[in-house]
Amino acid sequence: MLQGKVALEEHVALEALAGVGPPSASADVNDPDYLADVRQRLGETSRRLDDMDRCGIQWMVLSLGNPGIQAIADPTRAIDTARRANDELAERFVRVHPDRFAGLAAVPMQDPAAAGDELERAVRDLGLKGALINGYSNTSLDDTETVQYLDEPPVWEFWARAAALDVPVYLHPRDPLPSQRRAYAGYPALIGSAWGFGVETASHVLRLMLSGLFDRFPGLKLIVGHLGEGLPFLLPRVEHRLRHVRPESRGAAQRPLTSYLTSNLWLTTSGTFRSAALLTTLLEVGSDRVLFSVDYPYERIDEQAEWLETVPLGQAERTKIGRTNALHLLCLEAA
């Protein structure tokens, strides 16, 4: 088994988030025993380290999962909670195990200027390696439909800071808005990780591409999980059909959409262990753009690690995907 792997989409529970914001709308469809095990592992360190050791993982890059800070509509509260969460992540995990855990900061996108300040503080003072954002952010205390997506003009101030710091941002899934769930009526299990997460996040990435964000900040680094939420397979069709639409209907992108996929995005294997899908992704983006991840504790480390060994790859490619790509992207020290 490949040793020294780096896993990027791995989650923790933090006391700073206790009782803050609504839970994921799809959480109550999970089996109670599964959910109880997940909740225990989210806040526990020794079992996590044991799992890592058993499966050849040197580094876990830790972050908050869905919906995190993005569900806190009050900007003042979001700013305070993000700061406390990042301090706790650094103190409880990163500083206690500096050779095993790294972190991605929570950022209060309800106030993009404050989010940029917090990202800089987290990177420079706490040693965190970038940010993870759970999709759109709620911006109204009275209306759950009032949200802000990351391509919208007020957020570009934050993207400028991320580009200047030269750190990646992980776009993590979130449940689709309540008004967009009619297609799932009668099948609530589809709202979250089984399907809705991917549709919501892939659409969010398309918004970022079409907005011209990556033309404005060509060095911006975006990480997307679950083998890119289907984008390596679907994006060529989107690009092809957009040739036939009126220019004002398709945003400000100056380049083919697939060029952003191969120049600004890194894709992780989190929770997606099918060899044919990985090989097709590699054909689209190349082995420099793919990163091993588990999605712990929602997925099992042994299942994901054992699968990586079975993919028909040369050892050099397997090592890049499992280890060295992440070391370079996040500036982690090799063992």
Distance (Å, rounded) from C-alpha 203 to C-alpha 200? 5
What backbone torsions phi and psi does residue 60 show, to the nearest 5 degrees? -115, 130
Distance (Å, rounded) from C-alpha 179 to C-alpha 130? 31
Distance (Å, rounded) from C-alpha 235 to C-alpha 261? 9
Distance (Å, rounded) from C-alpha 314 to C-alpha 20? 46
Pairing assessment for the beta strands 222-224 and 265-268 based on DSSP bridges: parallel
Q: What single-letter amino acid sits at 243?
A: R
Distance (Å, rounded) from C-alpha 335 to C-alpha 72? 38
Q: Which residues are part of the catalytic machinery? A: 295
Distance (Å, rounded) from C-alpha 266 to C-alpha 327? 13
* DSSP per residue, 294-331: --TTTS-HHHHHHHHHHS---HHHHHIIIIIHHHHHHT
268 forms bridges with which residues in the sheet?
291
Q: What single-letter amino acid sits at 58?
A: Q
Q: In this structure, are residues 272 and 303 in contact, taking their beta carbons and an 8 Å threshold?
A: no
* DSSP per residue, 56-89: TEEEEEEE--SSGGGG---HHHHHHHHHHHHHHH
Task: Give the sheet arrangement for strand 57-63, strand by strand.
Answer: 5-11, 57-63, 101-103
Residue 10: in which H helix or E strand, if any?
Answer: strand 5-11
